[in-house]
């Protein structure tokens, strides 16, 4: 077992910080193009550039049967009406699935079949898991008032492809209406924005 440096990984349940791992922080400015409302995005960014989420990746081995995982924390907030979200990704090895384990907070997984573009929204909550099949774009969204903490586990050779989503984005958004998450078609939400109505 000498090829594995440490078999035990501890993380802080409040911050998601993993002992001995330098996590990646995504700030609002890193998420340009991810939110549906560009005016609200620029207004929010003009005020502040907060950390939206962090991911600490653990990569114990790179053999064929090995697994990697990330501990993620997605902070609460909105841009316009749209809840804070991750960039989302496909796996470079398209067949690779991923299992998300919800640990704290209230989230949603937004899934979109790469080929059929069919959308599915699944709750990401404590005491539950979400299965992301292969060939599926997936994004995490925090629809609650506290940080969303989760673990995502995937085959070591899955790889991350962010480009496809940066190009086309998801067809679906989750927006806050009267304090509750509502699933909407992205185009429909964009048509409803004030700047679209006023020509601003």
Strands 82-83 and 128-132, how do they pair?
unpaired
Q: Is residue 161 within 8 Å of 92, Cβ to Cβ? A: yes
- Exposure string of 98-109, with b = 16+ CB inside 10 Å and e = fewer, is bebbbbbbbbbb
Is there binding between residue 66 and a copy of itself (CB under 8 A)? yes
SS3 67: strand
Q: How far is the CB of 114 from a copy of itself (least distance, A)?
A: 10
Q: Does 13 bind a copy of itself (CB under 8 A)?
A: yes
Q: Does 154 bind a copy of itself (CB under 8 A)?
A: yes
- Distance of alpha carbon 131 from alpha carbon 152, whole angstroms: 10
**Contact call for residue 134 and a copy of itself (CB under 8 A):** yes
Asked if residue 118 binds a copy of itself (CB under 8 A), the reply is yes
CA dist., res. 98 & res. 138, Å (int): 10
Rounded to a whole number of angstroms, the CA Rg of the chain reads: 17
Site string for a copy of itself, 76-95 (x = CB under 8 A): ---------------x-xxx
Among 46, 48, 127, 180, binds a copy of itself (CB under 8 A): 127
Q: Minimum Å distance from CB 96 to a copy of itself?
A: 4
Interface with a copy of itself (CB under 8 A): 1, 3-4, 7-13, 58, 60-61, 63-67, 69, 91, 93-99, 101, 103, 109, 111, 113, 118, 120, 122-123, 125-134, 136, 151, 153-156, 158
């Amino acid at each position: 077992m000498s090829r594995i440096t440490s078999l035990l990984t501890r993380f802080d349940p409040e911050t998601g910080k993993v002992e001995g791992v330098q996590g990646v922080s995504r700030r609002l400015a890193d998420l340009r193009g991810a939110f549906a409302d560009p005016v609200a995005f620029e207004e929010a960014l003009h005020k502040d550039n907060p950390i939206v989420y962090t991911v600490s990746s653990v990569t114990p081995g790179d053999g064929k049967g090995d697994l990697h995982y990330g501990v993620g924390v997605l902070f609460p907030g909105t841009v316009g009406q749209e809840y804070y979200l991750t960039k989302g990704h496909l796996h470079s090895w398209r067949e690779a699935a991923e299992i998300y384990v919800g640990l704290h907070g209230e989230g949603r997984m937004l899934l979109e079949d790469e080929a059929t573009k069919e959308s599915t929204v699944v709750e990401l909550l404590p005491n539950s898991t979400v299965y992301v099949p292969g060939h599926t774009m997936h994004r995490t969204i925090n629809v609650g008032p506290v940080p969303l903490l989760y673990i995502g586990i995937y085959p070591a050779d899955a790889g991350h492809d962010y480009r496809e989503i940066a190009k086309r984005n998801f067809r679906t958004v989750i927006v806050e209406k009267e304090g509750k998450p509502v699933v909407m078609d992205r185009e429909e939400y964009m048509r409803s924005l004030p700047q679209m109505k006023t020509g601003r």
